[in-house]
Structure 1
Amino acid sequence: MIEIADLSQVSRATLYNHYRDKEAVLYALVASEVVRVFENSTGTPADILEFLSIQISQDRALAAMRQHDGALLVSLTQRTSDRIWSAIDSFLLTTMNNQTGADLALVWLMGQFLHPLSAKDSREQAAFLVERTLF
């Protein structure tokens, strides 16, 4: 928490007034990123999956976590029954228009937390996933 406060240029007291621990800070960051990405996702289902894939694969914070804190990154991919996962499930169900497609898309995207794709692979795989689950 000390490092987070220093890097954020806020006092430790301020940080502790808002967040109880490092995990709470991370949770708030993830929630904020999920909202940002959803708000910027437009187009066809393939376009949306491609965008989500690129956002995950090119995210600098996730890249740093892959190198320095793999265990924490793995814990982010553990499904729970909280608000973030509910929002992700709803968004993907709306995007894919069927539960099987949404489930496959989620697993595909979660894999990119640990193994990012190139933009070209994101585009090709998103199109393939949509073609195989929607039609």
Structure 2
Amino acid sequence: MMRTRAGLLDGAIRAFAERGLRRSTMQSVAAAAGVAKATLYNHFRTKDDVARALLAAEVDRLATSVTGLPAAAALGVLAEEVAGHPVLRRLAADEPEALVALLGVPAARWSEVVARLAEALGGVDAAAAEVVAAWLAGLVLQPGEPASRAEAAARLAVLLPPGDTPA
């Protein structure tokens, strides 16, 4: 069941990156995942449900990918992933209103993202994780150049509480 859901979300990445959220349909997501539309509907009721599940899965994937890394390396990886994410880049180019709506998550969801990020960064405090989350959200809107992202990640890592960063 989880393997099917992961495949559906991979298909959603492909469909949303190719067509954007607005022009993607449940049929295009199912086709990109290589399944029947009925299979997609067994897991998700609407395209918005797919998008929400994709966002949650991507947050978890990113947090897992940096767990245990030193702060500067973790922030560098996060910056590159966020700045180069195909769905985010598509939305920034073609559907900025959808991107803004995606970033404007409810306070409870934002708190979950910040807590997951704090954990992934080796248990930094919530205030430090909030600053990192806000920086990453800024990169979604304006990714800049790789060198400037790397420099910003290194500078931000220096500001994280020294005892809380992973070894």
Tell me, yes or no, whether TM beats 0.5: yes
Correspondent of 2:85 among 59, 64, 71: 59
Confirm whether residue 21 of structure 1 aligns to residue 21 of structure 2: no
Where structure 2 has 5 or more consecutive residues not aligned to the other structure, the ranges are: 1-25, 163-167
State the SS of the aligned residue for 1:97: coil
* Identity value in percent: 29
**Aligned equivalent of 1:126:** 153
- 2:37 corresponds to 1:37: no
Q: Output one character per residue of 1:61-117: Cα deviation in whole Å (capped at 9) or x when no partner.
A: 2111212222221112113223xx444212333427233322211111001111113
Would you say how many aligned residue pairs link Structure 1 and Structure 2? 133
SS of alignment partner, residue 43 of structure 1: coil
Distance 2:132 2:43 in 1: 34
Task: State the distance in 2 between where 1:39 and 1:132 align.
Answer: 22
Structure 1, gaps ≥5 residues long: none
TM-score of the two chains, using structure 1 as the length reference: 0.84
Which of 93, 108, 125 aligns to 2:118? It is 93
Specify the alignment match of 2:34 in structure 1: 9
- Tell me whether 1:115 sits opposite 2:142 in the alignment: yes
Letter in 2 for 1:8: A
Write the distance in 2 (CA, Å) between the matches of 1:127 and 1:4: 38
Higher RCO, Cα 8 Å, sep 6+: 1
Q: Which residue matches 2:101?
A: 75
Q: Distance in 1 between matches of 2:41 and 2:79?
A: 33
Does structure 2 conserve the Cα–Cα contact (< 8 Å) formed by 1:100 and 1:133? no
